[in-house]
Amino acid sequence: MARSRRKFTEEEIRILASNPYTYRITETTIRFTLAFKEEFLKRYKEGYSPTQIVTDLGYDINILGKRRVEGIRDHIMKESVSAAGLHEGSLFPKIRPGSRDFTSIPQSKAIEYMQHELIYLRQEVEFLKKIITAENGKRRKK
């Protein structure tokens, strides 16, 4: 089931973008600076609630909404224990499907993408073999 997500209005985007802790904002998502994430994590570990932290850091809880604040907490906690740790923006540029140029991303990520592509291509070959075998079987019966 798809999650419905309330979109920010143009005025809300303007307000949220004016906060120095806002890294990037669109009508559906808000991304935070590394400083925000570090301060959020520090305060959360001290026992402050996510709502209080977000409010203290200058965000209007009525604009963000309770669900989004919970998502912010979940995202920061997950990111903090990941191998990459807390960071701003995307660590790896997105590779478009069909692109074969992996030189712009770290070697370990490139290997991961290539392994995924290899598995997918092997599955595709097996599927094509089955189609060809089925077609050949139909021709022999005629």
pLDDT one-digit tens code per residue, 87-114: 887 665 555 555 666 666 677 777 877 7
Instruction: Read off the pLDDT of each residue in 9-35 and give the average, rounded to a whole number.
Output: 94
Q: Which pLDDT value is given to residue 60? A: 96
Tell me how far apart the alpha carbons of residues 9 and 15 are, in angstroms, rounded to a whole number: 10
Supply the pTM of this predicted model. 0.63
Domain ranges of the chain: 10-81, 92-142
More reliable by pLDDT, 4 or 82? 82
Residue 1's pLDDT band (boundaries 50, 70, 90)? very low
Q: Which pLDDT value is given to residue 142? A: 64
Residues forming beta bridges with residue 24, ordered by sequence position: 31
Instruction: Read off the pLDDT of each residue in 52-63 and give the average, rounded to a whole number.
Output: 96
Q: Does the pLDDT at position 48 exceed 80?
A: yes
Whether 94 and 104 have beta carbons less than 8 Å apart is answered as no
> How big is the CA angle at 21 (ends 17 and 23), to the nearest 5 degrees?
65
Share of the chain above pLDDT 70, in %: 85
Q: Which pLDDT value is given to residue 123? A: 84
The 3-state secondary structure of the chain, one letter per residue:
CCCCCCCCCHHHHHHHHCCCCEEEECCCCEEECHHHHHHHHHHHHCCCCHHHHHHHCCCCHHHHCHHHHHHHHHHHHHHHHCCCCCCCCCCCCCCCCCCCCCCCCCHHHHHHHHHHHHHHHHHHHHHHHHHHHHHHHHHHHC
> How big is the CA angle at 82 (ends 78 and 84), to the nearest 5 degrees?
125
More reliable by pLDDT, 10 or 111? 10
